[in-house]
Each structure stands twice: as structure tokens, then as C-alpha cells.
Chain A
């Protein structure tokens, strides 16, 4: 099967790769571009560990073909910190012990960031339903939800 040349922008950097049309965006990020921060937990869109932003929209990168990335803007966990400065969500996740194994963490952080951009002051229930597609098996979600709410509070204060 012949491969297709794809030019796209990942975390602000122009990149190109050759993709088999059967490969998912997740495969291409991980195996073509070496961006292994996005994880595959299910390959069916049920766990959210592969969450990325595609032209700003939160998606499962396992449900996007690599060739669909042509001409798009992609944001992954690797682009979340500003250089050495962590995003408040990243800091709060460490502070609140909101990760145990850490495997679901990149996807949850990417998803939570998308939530807070849309809704800077979510309720606990809104956070829970927004993150319902991000499975975590270690924490029981308690500390994750607290970390997101605390990061939101801090970001509102900074914005004010």
C-alpha cells in the first residue's frame, strides 16, 4: 500500500510524515513523530488516553486517520507546558497527587485544558461529565476532579 505524504503542525512546529492511510493519527504521532505522550488504552475511543486537540477540538487521536491531519493544527500533551513552565493543571495534578500510574494523565490533562478554555468555572458535575471519556483505573477520580477545580480557581484568579 502506498503511503501518503502529510504536512501538518504539531504543538506549533511544522512537521511532515508519510502515513499509510490505515494508520491513525495516534499511530503517526507515536511511531512517525516520536511523540509518545499520547497513549493508546483502547483504540476504540472509549478511554481518552490518546486525547489531543485537532484545530482546537478535543478528539481521540485513535479515531482520526493520520492522513486527516493534513493542513491541521494539532496540540498534544508535549505542547502543554510553556517551556519549563508547567500549565497550572499540570502543577495541580502533581500537588494533589491526582495521578498514580500516570498513564491516563496526559489525556486527562489535554481534555481538562479544553474544558477550562470553554468553561473557566465548571462545577464538580461538569468536570465529571466532561472527563467521562477519560478512564482512570487508579484514583477513583477524586483527586483528579479536585486538581481540575483547583487549577480552574487559580487560573480565574490569575485572569482577574
Chain B
């Protein structure tokens, strides 16, 4: 789209109240656990207390003997013969021969009340034979580590690799050794990050119903109702179209609600209980033990830098465990880690390693924060050594449109340089710091994603519009889609209602993931609105007796395109809609595609910290997020994404971690000890929205959800070094580890 089409907008870029705001401030909005059904049963899940154990026997007789207990399911109630990721999902839903992690589901029970279901679950006797386990990625990759699953490696893994390596990658370009030889300084460092959880406040909840005829329904909190449908039906051996999945309002997801956990259990229990609906609501400890946290990582990075700030070569070798199944985002981490830099010589090596932990799920820019922690930390340390300004170094090497990315493809229009320049200009950078205070800077990257998208739009009889989208609204996407639709149709924001619909109402949609909802559903809604406009112009043309091409759409009305088209007063959308029944019937538009034109988003964060040298505690004094949004459709919700991403990154950097005891059991499965930031931990989070419009979207949208979690990890590490002179290479940078580093330095 040509630049001159980025005209002044009436609605895009404004900050109206979100359409679902009233429901959400009054308690009326219905989330996963808020729905009940007549005749409903409650489900509860029996979970392995062992990190790795053979399941010798499961005896449900005591549970089934209780009045009101209606069904117990085990793996025997699920079909055999699944392969690939379908098998992984089934095995993760309910353990087969072995329990693979603490919290792995082993059986489930349905009863007439929640308390009874929980009591029955405690009465299901499971006999285990405990097996050796492995938790840490560096232990899991050892040749003699306990084997999680023989034969799980894919074709990418060369002969002779340790048994828990299931994917291997090795890619790059140029000659890194030659590049290192050109450098004035070459440094190599190792880094580690621990697994963290998305930490959405709403635990997983679903209400599933499945009859003996194979037809079912489900109400569920999810980022993607079609993914729930596809995965549940695969695990249960059903036809996808026979399961209707309705998404509830969703209490946060951050990637963690793009897959299934206990949803197939509710369907299996329902079928076994004669088709009665079964509700399952996870407890917080179930969420932390048995849903999908992100991977933990062990990383080696080597970089060559010239005195003038030019990066001559870079190499990364990352090892990640993503639980007892393949899928750690080591590939994404490698793609993103050097993405901000224009490199001639670059090499990447990655290992996806199995361990006795829950199957990882997506978490906001999966992989990118770990890679950034390693690379941005090392670059900062090298800038210090060569006395180079870290922002200037980044500007010197920054990628721009047309550059080949570190991982291969050429960049289209991107805004990294504009982002770095806006950072440089921000007043926070000139605030003087006191003793034990420090400032850290880091950049970050996320690709953004398109994905399968279906949207339909219908004009109502009064000239208002309804849009049906398949992407659940996690953080204001109804508002942004309504703004773009209204802008396109030339009607009021309030005249558009955006509905997030069930699987029976639209074609396939990928979830709200990959920062795609406003980009993909938004683009599809604009295209669908264009179809409706074309039809409305046609109807006006018919009434006026002129050619449809002679009609244009301006400010919500059809009008003759020029003096040659004749003199007709504009015909408004309400006039056209009011007589749609007499002029050809319903007026609508729809669009189905994998929308082209994704625009990547770069960000740069600046954090000021103070470290208490006597206790090692780090306090965030000030925080700045600068990021390219392409265009901010609803700037308040763009700022919200930036602030939320930063807050999650701060938690990851300072205090959040999966902590396991020596038996491989999760030691902190509650919010008391899985320490996400609280209100008093954080300052206000300053934001700058950079707008380098994405030419691949009708309003220039890039997608803004994920990049913001990437820079905080290294930015805070860099600030801690600036404050007290210790380099923290292992997250979290908790008070105990910082104090230990200070003591070790002496």
C-alpha cells in the first residue's frame, strides 16, 4: 500500500472505551469457570506425585463406591495408535505406561459435586514404581542421563547424540572464525535461565459434553477454540466438525492457553457418564505443576567486536529443555537472538532436550527472551570493556529494510533504527543516577505471525455492523477490530459490534497468538468490510441506474464518483441497509486467508535499578519501553501490551523460577512462592510508541504483544552491572544470587 494512503484517520489512533469494558468492571463477563449446565458433574484429576515413575496399577474401586461418583477415566479410555504431536498431546493429557513429571495426569473422576470429585480423586489408588529422573537441562543432555523416551528424536538429530536430544539445528552464514579474527575483542560467555510460567490469573477451566454419538460441545477458556477442537478430537479419535467449542472470556493466556490440558478429560468423563456435562477447573497448583511453562535454557554465546562498535562475527549455542516432550523453542530463540544486528558471519547451534518436567507451551515471544538475555548481556559487557556507548553500538549494527536477517530471510519495512533513535531522545536517559544505582539498555525482537484467519461481517438492517472473529479478545482486540471496521465503513465506533464466536460459526482460525489478532483478524475484517462496501455501492448504483464503478464510498455513504455519474445525494449505509430485503437480500462480507504482509516488531528498553549492597535486593526505579507498533490502532491497549510485557520480563529477571526439590517435585506451585511482580514492586512504566507503518496491513499494524517481554531480562542484568559491578549470568537475579556475587567479588 502506498504511503499516501496513510491519511488522517477519524477513529484509528483514538482511545474509546472498550466494548467489553462494562461487562468486565461489573463482574458480568463470563470466564471459563463461570458457566454451569443442567445435570452438570464436576471433574477432578489424579496427578503423579513423582517426577518419573512406571504406573504399575490404577484401582478406582474405592472412588467408584462413593455415592455420586459417575465415571473414572484412565489412558485405557483413549484410542491407541496416535503418532507425532497427536500422541504427545494424548500422552500429556493422561499418562500411559509412565508418569513423566510431577503433576502428570494419571486418571480423572466425575462426581455430582466438586468436593465429592476431589474426595474421589484422593481414593483412586495408583501404584508407582519410581524411576530415576532428570530436571536440569545440562544434566538432561548428558550421555548417561535417565532416558525420558527412547526413539523420540527426529531426523535432525545426528547419530551419537545423547539420548534426550530430540531435535538438533545448526545454521548460519559467512565465516565466523574469520570474523572473530577481525575483531578487536572476542568474548565468550555462558548463561542460564530457569523455566517460568505465563502466570495468567485465571486457572484453566472447561465444561465439556460428549455423547455416545460422537457429538460434543465445550465451553472453555482458551486463546484458540479451533485448536481446542482439533487437539481434543485428535486425542479422542473424533471427527473435528462434531465438536463445537465456544470460547469463554479469557483471564490471560500469554501463549499458555493455545493448547490442551484437561479438556479431553472432561469430554472422556462426559461420554463415560452418559453424556452429562463435566466441568473441570484447575487449582493454581495444578496450573503451575501441569500446564505449559516455558523452557529453561543453557546458552553459550561468542561475539567479536571492533573498537568502532562493528560486530564482526557472532555464534550462539543454545540447549533448552521443554519438558518430557519435544518442542522447546530453541529454534525461535536462535532466530531472534541476533535479529537486531546486520551480521556477515553468524552461526547458530541448538539442542531440544527432554527432561522430567511438564510439556512446555508458548510463552510470549517463545524463546526470544532467553536468547536476548545471553546476547544482549554479552554485548553490554563488551561495550563496557571497549568503552563504547551501548546504544550507539546497536545503532551502528542495526538492521534496516532490505537487510538479510541473521536467520536468513530479508527484512521488509522495519523500525529498529527509529526505535533506537526514539530511545536516545528520551528524557529518562539523561536522569542522573545515585550510588548503587545503574542503567541498563537492551534491544529485543519478535517476528509476529499471520496464521489461518476467517472473519465474517454483516450489515444489520439499521446500518450498524457486526463482525464475527475467531480470535479471543485477551487485551482489547475487540476494540481495535471495531475501530478499523468502523473507519473502513465510515460509521461510528459504537455502530460496530465485534463478536468472538464459536467454532460452528466460522471457518478455521488459529488462536490469538503470535501477536496476530489485531493484524490478521483486523486485516480480514477490513477486507470483509470492503466486500460489503462494494455490494452497497452496487445497490446504490442499481437504484440510481448507473454503473457500480461510478459509485464511491465516502463517510459511510455511497455517492456518485464524479460529475459524469449524475447528480444523486449520498445514500447512507442506514438507507441502503434499511431496504436490503428489497434490493437483493442480506449484505455481508467475509474473508478467509493466511494474511500476507506480517510486519516484525523491534523494541528497546531502558531500566534504572538500585541494588541494596547489604541484601542484594534490586529495586526497579524507572522503566522505559520503546517499540515499533507499525500503527497503534488503540494506543492505550498498545501501551498496555508494552507495560505488561515489561512487567513479565521483570518478574522473570528478578524472582520467577520453577524450583524443584531433589525428588523432582515442583517446590513452589503456589503464588506465594512463584513470585510474580506485585503492584508495589513496580514503578510506572513509561512507553514510547514508534510508528513505522507496516505496508502489509491496511492500517499499518505490526502486532505488539510479544516483543516487550524480550529486552527486560538483559536490560536488568546490564543495569545491575552498571549499579554494583557484578555480571549476573543466571536468572533469576534474586537477592541471594546478587548478594553471593557481591560477596564473591569482595
Chain A contact residues, CB within 8 Å of chain B: 20, 22-23, 27, 30-31, 35-44, 46-47, 49, 76-78, 80-81, 86, 90-91, 93-97, 99-106, 109, 124-125, 127-129, 131-146
B168 at the interface (CB under 8 A from A): no
**CB–CB B202/A39 < 8 A:** yes
Closest to A22 in B: B115
Closest to B17 in A: A94
Q: How far is the CA of A42 from the CA of B285 in the complex (A)?
A: 8
Give every chain A residue within 8 A of B640 (Cβ-Cβ): 97, 100, 138-140, 143
Closest to A35 in B: B27
Q: Given A99-B25, A100-B474, A103-B252, A46 and B670 touching (CB < 8 A)? A: yes
> 26 A–B contact pairs at CB < 8 A?
A31-B36, A41-B201, A42-B670, A46-B671, A77-B26, A81-B26, A86-B22, A100-B252, A100-B476, A100-B640, A101-B201, A101-B251, A102-B249, A104-B251, A128-B682, A132-B680, A135-B678, A137-B201, A137-B252, A139-B643, A140-B682, A141-B682, A143-B636, A143-B643, A145-B684, A146-B684
Chain B contact residues, CB within 8 Å of chain A: 15, 17-18, 20-31, 33-34, 36, 113-115, 198-203, 249-254, 281, 283-284, 474-476, 634, 636-637, 639-640, 643-644, 646-648, 670-672, 676-680, 682, 684-685
**CB–CB A43/B283 < 8 A:** yes
Give every chain B residue within 8 A of A102 (Cβ-Cβ): 20, 23-25, 29, 249, 251
**CB–CB B644/A128 < 8 A:** no
Give every chain B residue within 8 A of A140 (Cβ-Cβ): 640, 643-644, 646-647, 677, 682, 685
Within the complex, what minimum Cβ distance (angstroms) separates A12 from chain B? 15
**CB–CB B644/A138 < 8 A:** yes
Give every chain A residue within 8 A of B27 (Cβ-Cβ): 35-38, 76-78, 80, 106
Give every chain B residue within 8 A of A131 (Cβ-Cβ): 679-680
Give every chain A residue within 8 A of B682 (Cβ-Cβ): 128, 140-142
Closest to B31 in A: A103
Within the complex, what minimum Cβ distance (angstroms) separates A66 from chain B? 12
Q: How far is the CA of A49 from the CA of B679 in the complex (A)?
A: 14
Query: What 4 pairs between A and B have smallest CB-CB spacing?
Result: A37-B27, A103-B251, A140-B647, A102-B24
Q: How far is the CA of A96 from the CA of B634 in the complex (A)?
A: 12
Q: How far is the CA of A142 from the CA of B684 in the complex (A)?
A: 5
**CB–CB B115/A104 < 8 A:** no
Q: How far is the CA of A46 from the CA of B235 in the complex (A)?
A: 35
**CB–CB B28/A37 < 8 A:** yes
Q: How far is the CA of A99 from the CA of B679 in the complex (A)?
A: 14
**CB–CB A101/B474 < 8 A:** yes
Q: How far is the CA of A2 from the CA of B672 in the complex (A)?
A: 33
Q: Which of B29, B115, B252, B679 contacts A145 (CB 8 A)?
A: B679
**CB–CB B25/A138 < 8 A:** no
**CB–CB B202/A132 < 8 A:** no
**CB–CB B671/A90 < 8 A:** no
Closest to B197 in A: A137
Q: Which of B639, B643, B671, B676 contacts A44 (CB 8 A)?
A: B671
Within the complex, what minimum Cβ distance (angstroms) separates A43 from chain B? 6
Give every chain A residue within 8 A of B672 (Cβ-Cβ): 44, 46
Q: How far is the CA of A22 from the CA of B114 in the complex (A)?
A: 11
**CB–CB A44/B15 < 8 A:** no
**CB–CB B254/A90 < 8 A:** no
Q: How far is the CA of A46 from the CA of B682 in the complex (A)?
A: 18
Q: How far is the CA of A97 from the CA of B474 in the complex (A)?
A: 13
Give every chain A residue within 8 A of B115 (Cβ-Cβ): 20, 22-23
Q: Given A80-B26, A100-B475, A143-B636, A128 and B671 touching (CB < 8 A)? A: no
Q: How far is the CA of A103 from the CA of B200 in the complex (A)?
A: 9
**CB–CB B252/A101 < 8 A:** yes
Within the complex, what minimum Cβ distance (angstroms) separates A77 from chain B? 4
Q: How far is the CA of A104 from the CA of B637 in the complex (A)?
A: 17
Give every chain A residue within 8 A of B671 (Cβ-Cβ): 41-42, 44, 46-47, 135
Q: How far is the CA of A56 from the CA of B344 in the complex (A)?
A: 66
Within the complex, what minimum Cβ distance (angstroms) separates B96 from chain A? 30
**CB–CB A44/B24 < 8 A:** no
**CB–CB A141/B202 < 8 A:** no
Taking each of A22, A103, A133, which has the highest tally of chain B beta carbons within 10 Å of its own beta carbon?
Answer: A103
Give every chain B residue within 8 A of A77 (Cβ-Cβ): 26-27
**CB–CB B251/A39 < 8 A:** yes
Within the complex, what minimum Cβ distance (angstroms) separates A19 from chain B? 11
Q: How far is the CA of A105 from the CA of B23 in the complex (A)?
A: 11
Q: How far is the CA of A106 from the CA of B18 in the complex (A)?
A: 16
Q: How far is the CA of A120 from the CA of B120 in the complex (A)?
A: 49
**CB–CB B679/A134 < 8 A:** yes
Known: A46-B671, A138-B475. 20 other contacts (CB 8 A): A36-B34, A43-B283, A47-B671, A77-B26, A78-B27, A94-B17, A95-B17, A97-B15, A97-B634, A100-B252, A100-B644, A101-B474, A102-B24, A103-B200, A105-B25, A128-B682, A131-B680, A137-B644, A140-B647, A141-B647
